[in-house]
Structure formats: structure tokens, C-alpha cells
């Protein structure tokens, strides 16, 4: 029986690379993206199905999950990958852009988990991987709002790790550095001119596939050019005087 994977932001970049990688191993893919033409093109390439939707709409991923079950009879893997940079300047605040960024980068992940968990449980468990960023682990002052959203989804993954593992569902995240995708297209020449190495979408796709099968719940894989993906470890925080120190966490 083929593995069935749902991928948001699947029309290009990391999402499309994940679809190609998983389909080459026999998986059936369901792609979701606001870019209908791109999603259709990649779906045809990988022999999957697609739908055009905005993941900030709570019904979007529910409909995608329903499409997976109606088309293939099950759901095994979910890659919550859709994301945008914010471009929000806190000194010249754009409320509409802020809401859009939070809607896609944070709400889209929350809604995706909410929609996927019941289906994964119906079919005996599975795995969810979120595309976060190094900006979810360290400060990136080039885009503080984007940084906030990626910290938020990393926190969600960490908080859900144990509860979901008790349901037979693994959840983790990949935290790549700058990647040569449409998200950085406007500043790509700056990186190239400075000799700064960029990840490829295929580099990150390989890490996503690894994250699906990570043994430890809540694994956060750091992905950097020229290095193998490595799990990130947080330092522990001091405990109360006379009490136990909280354990180091993922």
C-alpha cells in the first residue's frame, strides 16, 4: 500500500522538492497552494492530486485531508510547508501584511495539525513535519515578524511532541538556513555576490524526509549548506531553589 503525503506550499521550492522526492519513492502526493497553476503542474509531474487554497483559511487543510482520503483512502505524512516572509517594518507598520504573515506562517500550521491529526489516527498514525527556519531558533533582525512566526511554530512542535506521540503520531520540524527558493528570490543576487552559500530545495527535502522518520518526538533538524542535518538541542533553564532542574528539551 502506497504512502500518502499531503504537502502545503507544494507548487514550488521546498514543497515541490518534497513532492518529487517522496513520489520517487512511491508515495502518492496531495498538493495544496494558492498558486493553482503551479500546484497543478507539480501534481501532474509527480502523478498526484492538487487543490488551490490559502492555508490561513481553517477549512483549507480540512478539504485537503478529505481529498487525500477520498482519492487514496488514507493519509500517512503531512508536510506543513507553506510560508511567506513578512516585509513588515515595525516602524512603519502594515497591519494587513502582518495579519497575512501570521495567518499563513502560524495559523496555517495550527489549522494543518488540527485537520490532519484525526485522519492520521484513523489510519493508524503517521507523521507531521513543519518547515520552520533557523529564524525559529535564533534571532533574525532582517525580518523580526517572520522570526516571531517561526519561533511560534517551533514552540508548537515542541509542545505537541509528547501528546501526539501518545496517539501514534510523530511531529517534528526542519530549520533550514537561507534556501534558494522563491522566498529569497529578491535578494538571491546579494547572497551570490557575497559568496554566501545557499541551500537547495532538494537539500531541505532530504531533511524533511529524514524528519518524518525521526525516532525522537519533536525533533528539530538544523539544515545548513555542506552539513548533514543535525538535531537541535536547547539548553535547560534553571529550576526553582530546592526543586529539580527542568530537563533539557528538544
pTM for this model (two decimals): 0.92
Left if phi > 0, otherwise alpha if psi is -120 to 50, otherwise beta: which for 242? left
Q: The domain that contains 207 carries what CATH number?
A: 3.40.50.720
What CA–CA distances, in Å, run from 243 to 43, 186, 236, 237, 239? 54, 51, 14, 12, 6
Residues belonging to the active site:
146
Q: Is residue 52 part of a domain?
A: yes
CA angle 70, 71, 74 (to 5 degrees): 70
Domain of 37 in residue numbering reads as 4-231
Predicted confidence (pLDDT) per residue in 120-155, tens digit: 999 999 999 999 999 999 998 889 999 999 999 999
Helical axes 95-102 vs 144-165, angle rounded to 10°: 20
What CA–CA distances, in Å, run from 96 to 7, 46, 88, 142? 26, 35, 10, 19
Predicted confidence (pLDDT) per residue in 176-234, tens digit: 988 777 666 565 555 555 555 778 999 999 999 999 999 999 999 999 998 999 999 99
Q: Is residue 236 part of a domain?
A: no
Total of domains in the chain? 1
Taking residue 223's Cβ as centre, other Cβ atoms within 10 Å add up to 23
Amino acid at each position: 500500500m502506497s504512502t500518502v503525503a499531503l504537502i502545503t506550499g507544494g507548487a514550488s521550492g521546498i514543497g515541490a522538492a518534497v513532492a518529487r522526492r517522496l513520489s520517487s519513492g512511491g508515495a502518492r502526493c496531495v498538493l495544496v497552494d494558492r498558486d493553482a497553476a503551479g500546484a497543478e503542474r507539480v501534481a501532474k509531474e509527480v502523478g498526484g492530486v492538487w487543490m488551490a487554497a490559502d492555508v490561513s483559511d481553517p477549512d483549507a487543510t480540512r478539504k485537503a485531508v478529505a481529498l487525500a482520503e477520498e482519492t487514496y483512502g488514507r493519509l500517512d505524512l503531512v508536510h506543513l510547508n507553506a510560508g511567506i516572509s513578512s516585509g513588515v517594518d515595525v516602524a512603519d507598520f502594515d497591519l494587513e501584511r502582518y495579519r497575512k504573515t501570521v495567518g499563513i506562517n502560524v495559523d496555517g500550521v495550527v489549522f494543518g495539525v488540527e485537520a490532519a491529526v484525526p485522519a492520521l489516527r484513523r489510519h493508524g498514525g503517521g507523521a507531521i513535519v513543519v518547515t520552520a527556519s533557523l529564524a525559529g531558533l535564533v534571532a533574525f533582525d532582517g525580518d523580526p515578524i517572520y522570526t516571531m512566526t517561526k519561533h511560534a511554530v517551533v514552540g508548537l512542535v515542541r509542545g505537541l511532541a509528547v501528546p501526539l506521540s501518545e496517539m501514534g503520531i510523530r511531529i517534528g520540524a526542519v530549520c533550514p538556513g537561507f534556501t534558494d527558493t522563491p522566498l529569497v528570490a529578491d535578494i538571491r543576487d546579494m547572497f551570490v555576490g557575497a559568496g554566501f552559500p545557499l541551500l537547495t530545495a532538494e537539500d531541505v527535502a532530504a531533511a524533511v524526509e529524514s524528519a518524518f522518520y525521526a525516532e525522537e518526538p519533536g525533533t528539530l533538524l538544523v539544515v545548513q549548506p555542506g552539513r548533514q542535518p543535525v538535531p537541535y538541542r536547547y539548553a535547560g533553564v534553571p529550576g526553582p531553589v530546592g526543586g529539580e532542574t527542568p530537563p533539557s528539551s528538544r
